């Protein structure tokens, strides 16, 4: 049975430090004002509007809820002090205040008294959405971002290209979306469309207002049938390939020995970097079963430096660790084997790693044998299995100091709607968000599953089609 009265620690992700003052509490009512000193005015307006949207709070002077910026705190850190008279939220930056607002929104409107001091364990706390196998519109992606930030997720990786479809308009290469971005180019011929540059810019701006960095992925040299369908000159023999909307992987490859390949790749990388304010460009690199290993290294040697040429850091799925990596390249681990020597070698050489082991973080894995949606090649991933692991223990030779963070990828081969997207995402995304944010020593499955139960009624009230896992006493 869930505790009836809310505790100050009833927050996901669990805050780093919670010091309750049981005798104190503060109830937010409409009319409670939100205020901020000049140093935080611009910030406060956005954040107060966020609060006001929930409780119709006026923004004015001398409010009982005070927002303060303190550059002495780390950027994403915040301090929330709740007394019976007032609420003071201090943030290292606007982003720290925004994360504090998420905590406030989870605790309110009857705020338990006390002090929360909080900051994330990892800087990169990501979710990934595969728009290639099944396309989701800009508005659907923006609505998803609203759900992700509630759990302090601060990166959204968009898998924009694959064998089935190409989902981002590229100037100078119109056939990518005309041929491979149209109706019926998803798995099993479903799903419409692609993002125009304007729609992509809209998603990027919407995400930035919520302190989320968009990480675009152009997957290569594998997973390129959609490219070669649109531009046969990029195949080995110049002959057109046939359209593929099945869910096979590993059968396509750009041609490392063709100069046309690099002209195409550089145009695309430049175009995507030009419309991406965030620091990363993901170049894919996974499952290149049709690229001879020597060609794979040749291709990466020429392509991995390109994001840097256009001011970005390259991220790649961890197979890229077989090649020489630029200093700033990030390796994203995704498999389930017990070790990955190339990744350990990259970590030893100072490269950073994002942990996304499929048997813990792949949201497209079935919860259990009865789950209609999803795949099971990495096994079944229950809510507990997505919570009860630690990124610093996952790979020999890849310890805490090598980890940039954690990501929860959602591949969309079996998705056909936002309801499907939400069913596989919730409640495992909050579990992975806590792995990525909270101090390792503070994490505990029994505590998490109890705190998670409170989100059932909230998701029901807001129409989020989550999986009512039997592991939780909803």
Q: Interface with ligand IFG by CB under 6 A: which residues?
A: 249, 286-287, 317, 334, 362, 364, 375, 411
Sheet with 34-35, side-by-side order of all strands: 17-27, 110-118, 78-82, 87-91, 65-69, 34-35
Is the previous residue joined to 427 through a cis bond, with omega within 30 degrees of 0? yes
CB of 286 to ligand IFG, least distance (A): 4
- What gap in Å lies between CA 360 and CA 432, rounded to an integer? 9
Is the separation of the CB atoms in 194 and 165 below 8 Å? Answer: yes
Please report how many Cα atoms fall inside a 13 Å half-sphere around the Cα of residue 268, on the Cβ side.
28
List the structure tokens of 23.
Answer: 């005798």
Is 209 designated active site?
no
CB of 446 to ligand IFG, least distance (A): 30
- What gap in Å lies between CA 357 and CA 337, rounded to an integer? 9
Q: Is 186 helix (H, G, I), strand (E, B) or coil?
A: coil
Nearer to ligand IFG, 47 or 329 (CB): 329
Nearer to ligand IFG, 374 or 430 (CB): 374
CB of 190 to ligand IFG, least distance (A): 16
- For tokens 């007394």, the residue is 83
Nearer to ligand IFG, 194 or 317 (CB): 317
List the structure tokens of 428.
Answer: 């495992």
Residue 278's Cα: distance from chain center in Å?
A: 13
Is the separation of the CB atoms in 127 and 153 below 8 Å? Answer: yes
Nearer to ligand IFG, 357 or 391 (CB): 357
Please give the backbone phi and psi of residue 56, each rounded to the nearest 5 degrees, phi first: 55, 50
Nearer to ligand IFG, 134 or 467 (CB): 134
Residue of 140, 260, 266, 287 marked active site: 287
Nearer to ligand IFG, 280 or 362 (CB): 362
Output DSSP code: residue 249. Answer: -
Is the separation of the CB atoms in 295 and 222 below 8 Å? Answer: no
- What gap in Å lies between CA 97 and CA 100, rounded to an integer? 5
CB of 356 to ligand IFG, least distance (A): 8
CB of 285 to ligand IFG, least distance (A): 9
Q: Hey, which residues does 35 pair with through a beta bridge? A: 66
Whole-angstrom CA distances from 281 to 23, 157, 216, 254 are 50, 9, 6, 19
CB of 317 to ligand IFG, least distance (A): 5
- Cite the active site residues: 287
């Amino acid at each position: 049975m869930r505790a009836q009265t809310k505790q100050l620690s009833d927050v996901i992700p669990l805050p780093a430090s919670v010091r309750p003052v049981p005798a104190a509490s503060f109830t937010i009512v409409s009319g409670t004002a939100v205020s901020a000193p000049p140093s935080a005015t611009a910030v406060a307006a956005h954040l107060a509007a966020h609060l006001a949207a929930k409780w119709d709070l006026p923004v004015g002077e001398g409010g009982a809820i005070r927002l303060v910026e303190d550059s002495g705190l780390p950027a994403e850190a915040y301090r929330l002090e709740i007394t019976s008279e007032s609420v003071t939220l201090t943030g290292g930056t606007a982003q720290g205040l925004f994360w504090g607002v998420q905590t406030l929104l989870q605790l309110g409107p009857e705020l338990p008294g006390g002090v929360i001091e909080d900051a994330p364990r990892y800087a990169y706390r990501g979710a990934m959405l595969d728009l290639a196998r099944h396309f989701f519109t800009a508005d659907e992606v923006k609505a998803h971002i609203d759900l992700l930030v509630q759990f302090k997720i601060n990166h959204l990786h968009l898998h924009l290209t694959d064998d089935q479809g190409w989902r981002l308009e590229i100037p100078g290469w119109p056939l990518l979306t005309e041929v491979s971005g149209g109706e019926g180019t998803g798995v099993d011929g479903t799903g419409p469309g692609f993002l125009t540059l304007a729609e992509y810019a809209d998603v990027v701006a919407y995400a930035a207002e919520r302190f989320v960095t968009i990480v675009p992925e152009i997957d290569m040299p594998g997973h390129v049938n959609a490219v070669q369908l649109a531009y046969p000159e990029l195949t080995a023999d110049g002959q057109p390939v046939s359209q593929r909307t099945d869910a096979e992987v590993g059968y396509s490859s750009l041609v490392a020995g063709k100069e046309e390949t690099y002209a195409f790749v550089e145009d695309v990388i430049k175009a995507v970097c030009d419309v991406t304010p965030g620091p990363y460009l993901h170049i894919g690199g996974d499952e290149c079963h049709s690229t001879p290993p020597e060609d794979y290294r040749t291709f990466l040697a020429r392509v991995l430096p390109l994001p840097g040429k256009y001011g970005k850091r390259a991220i790649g799925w961890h197979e890229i660790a077989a090649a020489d990596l630029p200093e700033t390249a990030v390796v994203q681990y995704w498999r389930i084997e017990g070790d990955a020597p190339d990744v350990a070698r990259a970590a030893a050489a100072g490269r950073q790693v994002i942990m996304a082991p499929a048997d813990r973080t792949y949201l497209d894995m079935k919860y259990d044998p009865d789950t209609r949606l999803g795949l099971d090649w990495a096994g079944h991933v229950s809510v507990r299995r997505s919570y009860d692991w630690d990124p610093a223990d996952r790979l020999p030779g890849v310890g805490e100091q090598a980890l940039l963070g954690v990501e929860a990828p959602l591949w969309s081969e079996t998705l056909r709607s936002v309801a499907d997207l939400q069913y596989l995402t919730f409640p495992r995304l909050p579990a992975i968000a806590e792995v990525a944010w909270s101090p390792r020593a503070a994490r505990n499955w029994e505590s998490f599953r109890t705190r998670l139960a409170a989100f059932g009624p909230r998701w029901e009230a807001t129409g989020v089609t989550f999986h009512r896992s039997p592991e939780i006493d909803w």
